[in-house]
Amino acid sequence: MDKSMFYHLQDAEIYFKPLNMEDAEAIHSYTSNENVSRFIGWKLMKTLEDTRSHIENMIKRDTEGTHLHASIVLKSTDAIIGTAMIFSFDEKANHAEIGYVLHQDYWGKGYGTRTIALMNDFAFKALNLHKLHARVISANIASARILEKNGFEREGRLKDYYVIDNTYCDSLLFGKFKAR
């Protein structure tokens, strides 16, 4: 299974590229945003050093082969607008989890839908996975819609799964099978 193609996915408006430390300031612009962090499993990155450490951890996981992380880049400006990820690979069951985070300035413009579409295509065609799944904080209605637009079905709810700002939040579970 050639996972390296993940770092070169693209469509008409966005492309993926490997994470690197030179992009720490651009990545920090959304990892340090409270509105973004309340919808993802990452803690708020208060300092640029926090973000650098987070990037190092993501790169380490990529190197170990347990995760795929890529920067999402807007073709028209070459601005980094988010991070895409595939992780929790289960080789026996042949499935993995997907996730993404977008800078708040790029919400509601279709980039999340495009990101999920690129990951779907890659996971089912290049990796030949049987199933993808995703977890979304129940308050993140926009992300749930993006998954549904890409053919994911809601499969369940985990009560009090996340703690965000000292408040328990439910997680919605979504899944999608490879077309047969």
Residues 112-155: tens digit of each pLDDT: 999 999 999 999 999 999 999 999 999 999 999 999 999 999 99
CATH class of the 3-134 domain in this structure:
alpha beta
**Pairing of the two strands 131-137 and 79-90:** unpaired
Strand 153-164: give its sheet, edge to edge.
14-18, 67-74, 79-90, 95-102, 131-137, 167-177, 153-164
Residue ranges per structural domain of the chain: 3-134
Per-residue tokens: 32: 């340090």
**Mind listing the pLDDT tens digit for each residue in 83-120?**
999 999 999 999 999 999 999 999 999 999 999 999 99
The pTM of the full predicted model, rounded to 2 decimals, is: 0.94
Reply yes or no on whether the pLDDT at 1 is more than 70: no
Asked if pLDDT for residue 2 goes beyond 80, the answer is no
